[in-house]
Amino acid sequence: MSAALALGDDALVLSHRLGEWAGHAPVLEEEVALANIALDLLGQARMLLSFVGDEDELAFLREERSFRNLQLVEQPNGDFAHTIARQLYFSVYQHLLYERLAAGEGEFADLAAKAVKEVAYHRDHAEQWVLRLGDGTAESHERMQRGLDGLWRFTGELFEPVEGVDVDWQALRDGWLAAVTSVVERATLTPPSGPQSGAWAAGAGRQGLHTEPFGKMLAEMQHLHRSHPGASW
């Protein structure tokens, strides 16, 4: 159950963050793209959370400490480059992880086999934008670098083993680092070199410890359901 909760919460929380771009994206095509990616993630979240229990109760009635998502996905959107950096780090991770799950025979193999094809598009979207912003103007280059640097310290947690997810975590980490480094270098950017986590942060999201912006996000996400229990459209 902890595995479905961890992977489901990753998808749910990132879906909500991407949904916050509605009405604010820099161009119409991106408005549509980010909403489409959010929709894919929401579909994955619904299926994963349904393994655990009632999807609505889990999404809207849990307290912050009961969420098992990575701290990376709960980070605020920032500017567009910041969001793209988060997309790069997460979609490469999710793509590599789901590829492995799809090849196995675990509980999530069917779902992963389906979702991995969607996630391949998310990853491609993020990589194309990193290349375009990094190798673009001085301003876009600087902002893209800032986004990559700012979120780097949340990437160590991606490779904390999740109970019930049977993959080679070290190989996943190596594959992720090689893929991210390759894109970042092609984009004429510098791969961040600082620590991927502090002792305070390692695996914290998976244990229910979250960063300050997450509580505010949850308040907005859960407010309607909690104020009007049982309401429907």
Q: Which stretch binds another protein (CB under 8 A): 2-10, 88-96, 110-118, 181-189?
A: 110-118
Nearest approach, Cβ of residue 18 and another protein (Å) = 12
- Cα dist from 101 to 7, 12, 19, 29, 180, whole Å: 12, 19, 27, 31, 20
Tokens of 115: 């979702």
**Measured over all CA atoms, what is the biggest interatomic distance in the chain, rounded to whole angstroms?**
51
Does 24 help bind another protein (rule: CB under 8 A)?
no
DSSP letter assigned to residue 170: H
Q: Contact 38/122 with Cβ under 8 angstroms? A: no
Nearer to another protein, 133 or 204 (CB): 133
Amino acid letter, 23: G
Burial of 145 per CB tally in 10 Å (0-12, 13-18, 19+): buried
Q: Which stretch binds another protein (CB under 8 A): 17-25, 115-123, 135-143, 223-231?
A: 115-123
Q: Which of 124, 139, 163, 168 binds another protein (CB under 8 A)?
A: 124
Nearest approach, Cβ of residue 113 and another protein (Å) = 5
Nearest approach, Cβ of residue 13 and another protein (Å) = 15
Does 39 help bind another protein (rule: CB under 8 A)?
yes
Chain residues that interact with another protein, rule: CB under 8 A: 29-30, 32-33, 35-37, 39-44, 46-47, 109-111, 113-115, 117-118, 121, 124-125, 128
